[in-house]
């Protein structure tokens, strides 16, 4: 068995893993950093094209794990669908590229729950440091960082009609969801550069050779962490049928995501002892909450079939439009291929008496049915609504000690009845917006139900059709209590030399999309390892 060695080993090349690996490599040129990723080094051609999301999210392939959940009792016994990115960039290869940080209260809540150093005041410098916003820098935003953030390059008449309808329904316009106030409706800013997807790998890793001391092991599955007693000493790797291992001189950082990181910990012997023994895994450390506390944004979508300018779908005319758009996109980074589909949205309150939004909207310029897995002939548009801070909690457990076998994912969606009632209120708001005069010129016939469903009808529709909007977190909960999986320094409790730097550490789900917060976690993880803070000198990725 071949053996490699590195000072730092990072497992998982999503936004958190790319951030921590690049920052460590830049700050410590005298140290080697190994980045291990199960998926390919090169993205799909469709990934570079923003509209390619329509072909990537709903299908299993080299760049998408396309997991399924166990049957969900509150969703009429259906199995949920959980797409997860695979390759350098992780889920930033296949997501909608939306740049959202969440609400300050989210992070202040983390700090109040015992996560010292994670308040809004603590994390804002990391968001700003990571950001390269095309609008420029101010007190809330940064420029010159690795993550390029831009406005959508093409105005869409259908999206503008949605925003006008939302205003008619009484919701204020908000040009910056990451500014002082999140509430309102508006266009989303995106992880794009010149009309192309700007994945976490492009942002932090760039071209090969950017960091001579960064060793990238793509197409390499991590089979588990090796220990000497309770100290992490290396990782076990598989490349095809070849088994290898890598020793670590300083620290290992797991960044395999809310499903992959608890799976790796448990496969390595760190997790609920009874579960590990049942699978046949020797227990290194009994950590009952590994894989617990799974939280995700449960979402319901209202889709309408319509024929109007700016709408997307499956039709001969759409095929012609797409072919004609290749040239403008390739040469100028413009045209309909630059759309991320979910072009606009908003953050609204289910009750005006609330102090902050508890619902998020995503307006899509196409019909979205079952994550795009059900093809619908014709064009149309959709409005998603999701519960921002769900009460339901699920779990990730092992089906096998082999990390190549998908874990058992049970979000327990809507197991807390408060989530169902919030989603009903959200769906009512969505229908009210869709019924406004500004959208009348688009026309449209709902794929199911009507735009005036009562609460009982909406509950039935939600049970039959609701699912994730792809933001799983929390399965390696950070905290200062005895049950926490990682401490506020992101060190795995009870283990030496092992940290976690991805969305699994979130004690509570943030109010919005999770790519930017996950990159922030990676940024902060690097500083924790390097024992520096966000205000200190930073070695920025070159190029």
Name the residue with tokens 């695979």.
86
Helix and strand numbers, DSSP H then E, in the chain = 13, 26
Which two three-digit tokens encode residue 191?
A: 């992880």
Which two three-digit tokens encode residue 405?
A: 């076998």
Cβ neighbour number for residue 373 with a 10 Å cutoff = 13
Instruction: Tell me how far the alpha carbon of residue 418 is from its chain's centroid.
Output: 24
Cβ 134 vs Cβ 191: under 8 Å: no
Annotate 311-362 with DSSP letters as a single string. Answer: -EEESHHHHHHHHHHHHHHHHHS-SGGG--SEEEEEEE-SSTTSSS--EEEE
For the chain, report the end-to-end CA distance as a whole number of angstroms.
37
Cβ 18 vs Cβ 200: under 8 Å: yes
Cβ 196 vs Cβ 152: under 8 Å: no
Which two three-digit tokens encode residue 18?
A: 């790319």
The DSSP secondary-structure symbol of 542 reads: P
- What b-and-e string marks burial along 250-278, b requiring 16 or more CB atoms within 10 Å of the CB? ebbbbbbbbbbbbbbbbbbbbbbbebbee
Q: Give the integer Cα–Cα distance in Å for 33 and 21.
A: 7
Is 471 an annotated catalytic residue? Answer: yes
Burial degree of 280 (CB within 10 A; 0-12, 13-18, 19+): exposed
Spatial CA neighbour of 187 closest among 306, 112, 97: 97
Catalytic residues: 471
């Amino acid at each position: 068995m071949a053996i490699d060695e590195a000072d730092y080993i990072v497992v998982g090349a999503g936004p958190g893993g790319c951030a921590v690996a690049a920052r460590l490599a830049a700050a410590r040129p005298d140290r080697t950093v190994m980045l291990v990723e199960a998926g390919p080094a090169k993205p799909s051609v469709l990934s570079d094209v923003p509209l390619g999301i329509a072909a990537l999210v709903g299908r299993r392939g080299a760049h998408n794990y396309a997991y399924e959940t166990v049957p969900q009792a509150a969703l009429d016994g259906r199995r949920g669908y959980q797409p997860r990115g695979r390759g350098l960039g992780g889920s930033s290869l296949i997501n909608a590229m939306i740049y959202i940080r969440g609400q300050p209260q989210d992070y202040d809540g983390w700090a109040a729950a015992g996560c010292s150093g994670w308040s809004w005041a603590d994390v804002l410098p990391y968001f700003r440091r990571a950001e390269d916003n095309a609008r420029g820098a101010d007190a809330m935003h940064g420029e010159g960082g690795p993550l390029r953030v831009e406005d959508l390059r093409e105005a869409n008449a259908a999206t503008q009609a949605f925003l006008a309808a939302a205003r008619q329904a009484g919701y204020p316009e908000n040009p910056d969801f990451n500014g002082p106030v999140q509430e309102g409706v508006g266009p989303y800013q995106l992880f794009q550069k010149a009309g192309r997807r700007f994945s976490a790998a492009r942002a932090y890793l760039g071209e090969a050779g950017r960091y001579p001391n960064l060793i990238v092991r793509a197409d390499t599955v991590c089979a588990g962490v090796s220990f000497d007693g309770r100290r992490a000493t290396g990782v076990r790797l598989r490349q095809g049928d070849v088994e290898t291992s890598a020793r670590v001189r300083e620290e290992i950082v797991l960044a395999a995501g809310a499903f992959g990181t608890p799976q790796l910990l448990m496969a390595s012997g760190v997790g609920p002892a009874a579960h590990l023994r049942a699978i046949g895994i020797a227990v290194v450390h009994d950590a009952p909450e590994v894989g617990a506390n799974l939280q995700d944004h449960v979402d319901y979508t209202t889709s309408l079939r319509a024929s109007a300018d700016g709408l997307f779908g499956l039709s001969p005319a759409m095929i012609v439009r797409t072919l004609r758009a290749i040239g403008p996109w390739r040469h100028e980074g413009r045209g309909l291929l630059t759309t991320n589909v979910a072009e606009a949205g908003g953050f609204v309150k289910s009750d005006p008496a609330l102090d902050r939004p508890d619902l998020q909207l995503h307006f899509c310029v196409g019909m979205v049915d079952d994550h795009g897995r059900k093809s619908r002939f014709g064009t149309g548009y959709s409005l998603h609504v999701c519960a921002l801070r769900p009460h339901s909690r699920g779990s990730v457990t092992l089906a096998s000690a082999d990390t190549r076998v998908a874990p058992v994912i049970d979000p327990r969606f809507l197991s807390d009845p408060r989530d169902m009632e919030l989603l009903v209120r959200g769906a009512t708001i969505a229908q009210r917006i869709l019924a406004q005069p500004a959208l009348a010129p688009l026309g449209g016939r709902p794929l199911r139900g009507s735009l005036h469903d009562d609460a009982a009808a909406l509950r039935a529709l939600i049970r039959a059709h609701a699912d994730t909007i792809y933001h799983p977190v929390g399965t390696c909960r950070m905290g200062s209590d005895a049950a926490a999986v990682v401490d506020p320094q992101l060190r795995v409790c009870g283990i030496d030399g092992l940290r976690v730097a991805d969305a699994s550490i979130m004690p509570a789900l943030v109010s919005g999309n999770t790519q930017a917060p996950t990159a922030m976690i990676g940024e902060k993880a690097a500083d924790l390892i390097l024992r520096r803070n966000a205000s200190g000198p930073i070695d920025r990725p070159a190029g």
